[in-house]
Amino acid sequence: MFFTREGIKELREIASEPKFVDPQRFCHVRVELGIDQDADIDSLDD
């Protein structure tokens, strides 16, 4: 899958809103987009 720069910008904006993207469930996506830098993804497997 490929995104344009504008598409990535919009995806970041949407993903930064907890009401659209659950921060715990989609932690890996938020880390990839640079929203959550120090997230501990492994701790969410509980």
Are the C-beta atoms of residues 24 and 38 closer than 8 Å to each other? no
* pLDDT, tens digit, 9 for 90 and up, residues 4-28: 999 999 999 999 999 999 999 999 9
- For position 3, what pLDDT does the model report? 87
Structural domain containing residue 35 = 5-45
Residue 2 above 90 pLDDT?
A: no
* pLDDT, tens digit, 9 for 90 and up, residues 33-45: 999 886 555 555 5
- For position 38, what pLDDT does the model report? 67
Could you identify the residue written with the tokens 């490929």?
2
Could you identify the residue written with the tokens 């949407």?
14
Q: What is the pTM of this model?
A: 0.66
Number of domains in the chain: 1
Question: Residue 42 and residue 28: Cα distance in Å, rounded?
Answer: 10
